[in-house]
Amino acid sequence: MTRQTLIALMLVSLLPTGAAAQVTFERLLNADEEPENWLTYSGSYSSNRHTKLDQITPDNVEDLELSWVFQAGSLEAFQATPLVVDGIMYLTEPVNNVVALDAKRGSVFWKFEYTPSSDARPCCGAVNRGLAILDDTLFLATLDGNLIALDAVGGKPLWQTTVADPTEGYALTLAPLVIKDKVMVGVAGGEYGIRGYIDAYDAKTGELAWRFYTIPGPGEPGHETWENDAWKTGGAPAWLTGSYDPDLDLTYWGIGNPGPDLNPAQRPGDNLYSDSVVALDPDTGELEWYFQFTPNDPYDYDSVQIPVLIDFPDGNGNTQKLMLWGNRNGFFYVLDRESGQFLSGTSFVPVNWASGLDDFGRPVQTPQPPGATTFPGIQGGTNWYSPSYSPETGLFYVSAWEAYGSNFEPQDQTHVPGRVFLGGRPANPFGAGANVPGLRRGHINNWTDAAGGGAVIAIDPRTGQQRWRVPMTDVTSSGILTSASNLLFTGNREGHFHVMHAETGELLLRKTLGGMIANGPMSYMVDGKQYVAIAAGHSMFVYSLRD
């Protein structure tokens, strides 16, 4: 082979290969402009879970019919949101398999099988919430602490790197977030006395670019909010995907509970940055600002919820750069995402752990006496289920657990690496044998109207007031999607897929899918047809309008 042909061959191999999807960073930045695709976990960097697709409308939604079903070969909860790129759907099948599907028909192109090591010990179910993509590479974060890059065309691994040690209780359950040339992930493990962190890896090589510890070490600002060695086992995981503001060049991540979860006496102080949102420089991982929702949390009120970024007209031709946050602690917050300043906060479910928030957004805590019930209970007023914001209605939508409580009984506990470090147990306020809603639902609803119920709540961020609410008998763990045609798609634990009018909450369509819905519906378009995908039980159902 001549030198010239060799060089020519090398050049060819540098070109994009054939018709393979090239999801550049540029495309990720403008994901809103190609609503036929769903390029990140939350649909766009601002995480509004809002689609500009408007083929399905309040007038024709009755004509939605099932296009296809994907049945997972696993009985773990289906919490993943799929990605769709130019007609191809990329989906994690619980736990850590990846499938590439024809988004129109559900036929499978390839399947990457990965069995996490039995060292993995997730607190709360072997779940995975999805993938990230950059160029033609997919990124998968595994339950046993690995980050894997996969070729989106062939489904074969390109590199694999260890993020965390599962034997110490670390796990990865989130969909990674790609910013520029880096892949970001945060760890789960807040129930094991870990020390949490968020990592960024070089998307090409898998090399660690930076690590942000969610608990500052000795000498770092914030370390003084911990006493003794409590910071070493203080938890503060980051188990849901963050958001990104390209203009401010800041990435926002929610941080989870301090450990031991239920015994604050073992970790005096505010316990930064547990239960906070942190704003990081995506190039360096440096902290720009933080805001703490629940200092010295005794209730496991993880603040990992999705940061919803909105640009809000201020009436003078300017826009306010805001962040909306429906927190597990039962309050809905509006923050200035440039400075981290607290703007307003109102409770969206019954709350009695705090009597309110002060001028700086700090809760005035009102611990309940032993034996009394704290609201919201340990699963929170909301949790991992994605909220949505619709620029059409100007409303924020959240899945809530209303009037749901737990009795907290802290207990001193010694930390043993890799063992559950809860510092007590939440007691059931409703007597032995009566269930309270937990992570998963069985077939029998044994808490009906005794232990709270679910609701979809529409909140006006200008006032914090509820505009409407649709209550349900059982609690709900479904994410929410809104559309430019004023539709709201969601589901519930009872296995119902709901389509509502985003302005009024009017129920326009109900389909019974027969399994708990624990992920967010999403939407995409192929060949001019809009689809809505929603997983229930162990299958994913895809709907479109009847021809």
Partner 1 sequence: MRTFIQRIPVPITAAGPSIAALTLLVTLGAADGVAQNHVGQYEQADIEFGARLYNTNCVRCHGESGGEVAGVDLRGGTYARAESDFELMRLIRTGIQGTAMPPNDFSQSELTGIVSYLRTMRDVDLSTVTLGDETRGRGLFAGKGACASCHRVGRNGRRTAPDLTDIGAVRTAANLQASLLDPTGSMLPVNRPVRAVLADGTVLNGRRLNEDTYTIQLIDENERLRSLDKAELRELAAGTTSPMAPATDVLDEQEVADVLAYLLSLKGLN
Residue 216: alpha-carbon gap to chain centroid: 24
Closest CA to 66 of 514, 516, 405: 514
Q: Does 439 bind partner 1 (CB under 8 A)?
A: no
Q: In terms of CB distance, is 239 or 408 closer to partner 1?
A: 408
Q: Tokens in use for 329?
A: 């602690």
From the CB of 299, what's the least distance to partner 1, in Å?
14
Question: For partner 1, which residue of 74, 320, 365, 486 counts as binding (CB under 8 A)?
Answer: 320
Site for partner 1 (CB under 8 A): which residue of 494, 519, 535, 544?
494
Closer residue to partner 1 in complex, CB, 94/410:
410
Site size for partner 1 (CB under 8 A): 72
Q: Which of 334, 457, 500, 516 binds partner 1 (CB under 8 A)?
A: 334
* 275 DSSP assignment: T
Site for partner 1 in 298-317 (CB under 8 A): 312, 314-316
Site string for partner 1, 182-211 (x = CB under 8 A): ------------------------------
Q: Identify residue 479 by its one-letter amino acid code.
A: G
366 binds partner 1 (CB under 8 A): yes
DSSP state, residue 171: B
- Binding-site member from 132, 150, 351, 500 for partner 1 (CB under 8 A): 351
Binding mask 253-292 for partner 1 (x = CB under 8 A): ----------------------------------------
Residues 391-430 that bind partner 1 (CB under 8 A): 403, 405, 407, 409, 411, 413-414, 424, 427, 429-430
Active-site residue (options: 270, 300, 302, 474): 300
In 3D space, the residue among 178, 88, 181 whose CA is nearest the CA of residue 133 turns out to be: 178
Nearer to partner 1, 207 or 412 (CB): 412
107 binds partner 1 (CB under 8 A): no
Q: Is 300 a catalytic residue?
A: yes
Residues 233, 193: contact at Cβ < 8 Å?
yes
Which of 73, 463, 506, 514 forms a contact with partner 1 (CB under 8 A)? 463
Binders of partner 1 among residues 5 to 44 (CB under 8 A) are none
Cβ-based neighbour number of residue 427 at 10 Å: 14
The type of residue at 345 is G
Residue given tokens 């100007």 in the structure block:
394
At residue 230, what are phi and psi to the nearest 5 degrees?
-60, -30
Strand partners, 302: none
Cβ–Cβ < 8 Å for 420, 191: yes
Smallest separation, CB 277 to partner 1 (Å):
16
Cα 274 to the center of its chain, rounded Å: 17
Q: Where are the beta strands (DSSP E) in 44-168?
A: 50-51, 64-71, 83-85, 88-93, 97-102, 108-112, 132-134, 137-141, 146-151, 157-162
CB 334 to partner 1: min, Å = 6
Q: Report phi then psi at 161, rounded to 5.
A: -135, 150
Do 181 and 228 touch, CB atoms closer than 8 A?
Answer: no
Q: What are phi and psi of 223, to 5 degrees?
A: -60, -30
Binding-site member from 173, 373, 478, 544 for partner 1 (CB under 8 A) = 373
**CA separation (Å) from 114 to 125, 319, 499?**
17, 46, 35
CB of 34 to partner 1, least distance (A): 31
Interface pick for partner 1 out of 20, 208, 248, 343 (rule CB under 8 A)? 343
Residues between 229 and 258 with contacts to partner 1, criterion CB under 8 A:
none
Query: Tokens for 247?
Result: 């203009």
Q: Applying CB under 8 A, which part among 69-77, 131-139, 228-236, 354-362 lies near partner 1?
A: 354-362
Nearer to partner 1, 129 or 362 (CB): 362
Q: Active-site positions?
A: 300
